Amino acid sequence: MSDPKPVEIVMPPELAEFGEIVRKTDKTDPKTEDVRALRSYLEEHPEVWRVFGDLAEFAYKRLVDASAGDQVVLGESLKVGRLAMRQDLGYEQATALERLLLDQVALCWLRLHYVEFHHTAASNGEAPPTLKDHWERKLSATQRRYLRACETLARVRRLNLPSLQINVADRQVNVAGGQ
């Protein structure tokens, strides 16, 4: 596998102030006051962390890039397919915990089929036995992860955990979800 492409982040216009803070802190040795300003901004706007800090989203995008390569149709199809999968599984109505698990299921699904593709290519070709064995072990591991993610989601949904709301220092925090 080649080096991954850098993840492109597009800053919405309403985050211009945040963009300026990021510009000042996204370097080797940022000023202490700039780091404090960044932390303060993120504490005041907790929803913004996803712009730069949602590693689950970055992992999915990186895996899409690795899977699609230069095939734009495949890459865009995988992105739209993830959204469709989320919708089919009730992402918008899900609790916060279920959403985390749904993201994991989608990531494991994509990884499973990425590995399945390479496993099939190695099995059908004149690949050396060590390469075939490598993809066989990788396939077994990704199948276990995918099934575990699906089972965990099913278990959590079966528990039907209530949404919990806690007020800490005048800030509302939804602990187990939020419908």
Encoded tokens for 24: 């000042």
Query: Is residue 72 assigned to a domain?
Result: yes
Query: Is residue 162 assigned to a domain?
Result: yes
Give 36-46 pLDDT, tens digit per residue: 999 999 998 88
Confidence grade of residue 125 (pLDDT, cut at 50, 70, 90): confident
Q: Domain range holding 161?
A: 54-174
Domain count, the chain: 1
Give 131-146 pLDDT, tens digit per residue: 999 999 999 999 999 9
Query: Is residue 15 assigned to a domain?
Result: no
Length of the chain: 179
Encoded tokens for 23: 């510009």
- DSSP annotation of 46: G
Which residues, 6+ apart, have CB-to-CB distance to 145 below 8 Å? 108, 111, 112
Query: Is residue 80 assigned to a domain?
Result: yes
Query: Is residue 73 assigned to a domain?
Result: yes
